[in-house]
Every structure is written in structure tokens, then in C-alpha cells.
């Protein structure tokens, strides 16, 4: 009928209507973590690992904080080792063991060795079923690549972790109020050139971040110095599908759209949340 009348089909009309819907960027957040000293590889590794644990817990992919969950699992394992009788391992227990093993692999990949070469400028943590259609995106940007040789005390490391948690609770609450289902956590590392540290990471030449309607949380690790950030904050264009770099007086790093090429590396370990936590 529509073809005979020279009118577009209902399918095409529905697609046009979906494309014209305004993009809701009210949940997009910028969090700045200021530290009064230069960041070394240990700090960059610590804040990356803490962000992984925090996202998994706050987005209801695990039932309790990661450290508590792992300690509880180890205690149960030690108790069962003393029992001679073999019992059938439940499917839930197997999923938990697999989750802990996969998260440990991600944390191992985000070790200080990854940041020692001053190549990493950004890390993306994405919740969803695929890196090409994320439900939520968390962007962690480093100001100087973490190359300081200054030693860091345990107290300073703890202070950085507290600043991260405080910033996430204060600024990212609109994102945490959204309902999220059980999904995977993908980790992508953005490098200025080819990584020499490729443990658990593989090159993704075809990757290009497209937020569409996924909320974005920008986390900046700001340290003393004239060049505060290597990258400008990510923001949406009118359609929400393409990322643009917005000029900002507070940072003067290179722009992706200005011809600077960066390489994306995907972590092979992709932990999947436990059902029933949401």
C-alpha cells in the first residue's frame, strides 16, 4: 500500500523518528581528582584498579565490595578443603569463581608495568554486551602518563583512593540511579603509540567510540604542572553518535580530531556480572 502510494514504509518512518529524538546527556559527568604530587605508575595502577572494583559494586554487578567478596570466597574455600567428602559445586559458586578469576586478570593487566612507558593516556571501562554498543562508559584520563619516579607511601595511595570514591559518590549519582542489568565490563587502553606492555591486551584497529545514548563519566587524574591533561573531555555532538573534543582553557592537550592518531588495546578478560545482584 505504501509503495503504491509513493510513501515511505512504516519501518523507515519509525527509524527516522528514532533518529530525530534528542540525545539525553544530563547524566554525563566530569570528575576531577586533584593530587598535590606527581603521579607515578603505582598511583595510575591503583586508581585504575579501584575504579574497576567500584564500578562492579556500584553498578550492581557483584553483591558486595570486591575485596569483601574475594575474602569471603577464600574463607569458604579454605573451610571446604578440610572436608573429605566431595560435594557438588553449585552453578552459582562456579560463576562466582569465574568472575573473581576474570576480575583478577583485569587487575593484573592494569599493573604499574602498563604505565611505566608513558604510553597510556586514557582507559575506557564500558558496561554492556559489546564495545560497540555500551550501556555506560567511564573514561579515565591521566595528566602526564604517570612517569614520576617519586616514591609513594601507603597513606598517599589510600588518600588517592578516597578522593576517587568521594568524587564518584558526589558527581556520578545520576548515573548510579539508573537501573542496569547483568552485563560485561570491557577495558580498553588508549595509547599514543604501540604498547610495549601487551599482557592480556590486543590491538583493536577498527574500534571507534560511539556513545549513542550511553551515559558518560569522565574521570581526570590532575597533577601539578602546566600541561594538566593529555586529552580534552569527551562530549557529544547533536546526534550523540560521534565524539568531539571541546576546547577548554584548563587543558591544552592534543585533539583526536586534529589528526593525532591513537591506538586502542582491548583487555582479553571481560568479567560478567552475577545475576540477582541488581
CATH code of the domain in which 66 resides: 3.30.900.20
pLDDT at 192: 81
Write the burial class of residue 277 (CB in 10 Å: 0-12 exposed, 13-18 middle, 19+ buried).
middle
Q: Which DSSP helix (H) or strand (E) runs through 170? A: helix 154-171
* Max Cα–Cα distance, the chain, nearest Å: 78
Residue 210 lies in a domain: yes
How does DSSP classify residue 133? Answer: S
- What is the pTM (predicted TM-score) of this model? 0.78
Is the distance from CB of 9 to CB of 111 less than 8 angstroms?
A: no
Q: What angle do CA 276, 271, 261 make, to 5 degrees?
A: 135
Residue 221 has pLDDT above 70, yes or no: yes
pLDDT tens-place string over residues 103-127: 999 999 999 888 887 778 889 999 9
Q: How far is CA 257 from CA 5, 260, 261, in A?
A: 44, 7, 9
Q: Return the C-alpha torsion angle 24, 29, 45, 277, nearest 10.
A: -60
Residue 36 counted as domain residue: yes
Residue 2: is its pLDDT beyond 80? no
What confidence score (pLDDT) does residue 20 get?
A: 45
Cα separation, 268 vs 76, in Å, equals: 28
Tell me, yes or no, whether 57 lies in a domain.
Answer: yes
**Number of domains within the chain:** 1
Judge whether 112 and 42 are in contact, CB under 8 Å.
Answer: yes
Task: Show the CA angle centred on residue 189, arms to residues 31 and 126, nearest 5°.
Answer: 60
Is 212 a domain residue? Answer: yes
**CA 274 centroid distance within chain:** 18
- Quick: pLDDT tens for 151-199: 778 888 888 888 888 888 888 877 888 888 889 999 999 988 888 777 7
Band (pLDDT 50/70/90 cuts) for residue 224 is low
pLDDT of residue 266: 93
DSSP string for 44-105: HHHHHHHHHHHHHHHTTSSSS-HHHHHHHHHHHHHHHHT--S--PPPHHHHHHHHHHHHHHH
Look at residue 109 in the predicted model and tell me its pLDDT.
92
Q: What percent of the chain has pLDDT over 90?
A: 20
> For residue 272, is it within any domain?
no
DSSP code per residue over 240-265: SSSEEEPPBTTB----GGGT---EEE
- The domain of 173 spans 24-74+90-248+255-267
Tell me, yes or no, whether 175 lies in a domain. yes
Residue 233 located in a structural domain: yes
Q: How high is the pLDDT of residue 276?
A: 63
Beta pairing class for 120-128 and 184-191: antiparallel
Residue 196 lies in a domain: yes
Task: Say whether pLDDT at 248 is over 70.
Answer: no
- Pick the more confident residue, 236 or 137: 137
Amino acid at each position: 500500500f505504501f509503495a503504491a502510494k509513493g510513501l515511505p514504509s512504516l519501518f523507515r518512518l519509525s527509524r527516522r523518528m528514532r533518529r530525530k529524538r534528542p540525545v539525553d546527556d544530563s547524566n554525563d559527568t566530569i570528575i576531577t581528582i586533584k593530587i598535590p604530587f606527581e603521579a607515578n605508575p603505582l598511583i595510575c595502577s591503583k586508581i585504575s584498579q579501584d575504579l574497576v572494583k567500584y564500578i562492579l559494586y556500584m553498578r550492581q554487578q557483584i553483591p558486595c565490595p570486591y575485596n569483601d567478596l574475594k575474602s569471603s570466597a577464600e574463607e569458604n574455600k579454605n573451610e571446604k578443603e578440610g572436608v573429605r567428602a566431595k560435594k557438588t559445586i553449585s552453578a552459582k559458586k562456579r560463576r562466582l569463581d569465574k568472575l573473581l578469576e576474570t576480575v583478577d586478570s583485569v587487575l593484573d593487566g592494569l599493573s604499574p608495568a602498563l604505565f611505566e612507558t608513558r604510553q597510556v593516556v586514557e582507559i575506557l571501562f564500558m558496561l554492556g554486551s559489546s564495545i560497540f554498543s555500551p550501556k555506560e562508559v567511564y573514561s579515565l584520563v591521566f595528566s602526564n602518563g604517570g612517569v614520576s619516579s617519586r616514591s609513594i607511601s601507603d597513606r598517599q595511595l589510600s588518600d588517592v583512593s578516597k578522593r576517587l570514591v568521594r568524587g564518584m559518590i558526589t558527581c556520578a549519582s545520576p548515573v548510579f540511579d539508573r537501573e542496569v542489568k547483568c552485563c560485561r565490563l570491557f577495558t580498553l587502553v588508549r595509547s599514543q603509540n604501540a604498547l610495549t606492555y601487551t599482557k592480556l591486551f590486543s590491538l583493536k584497529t577498527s574500534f571507534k567510540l560511539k556513545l549513542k545514548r550511553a551515559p558518560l563519566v569522565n574521570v581526570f587524574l590532575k597533577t601539578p604542572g602546566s600541561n594538566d591533561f593529555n586529552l580534552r573531555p569527551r562530549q557529544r555532538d547533536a546526534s550523540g553518535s560521534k565524539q568531539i573534543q571541546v576546547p577548554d582553557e584548563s587543558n591544552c592537550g592534543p585533539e583526536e580530531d586534529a589528526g593525532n592518531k591513537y591506538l586502542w588495546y582491548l583487555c582479553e578478560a571481560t568479567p560478567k556480572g552475577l545475576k540477582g545482584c541488581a
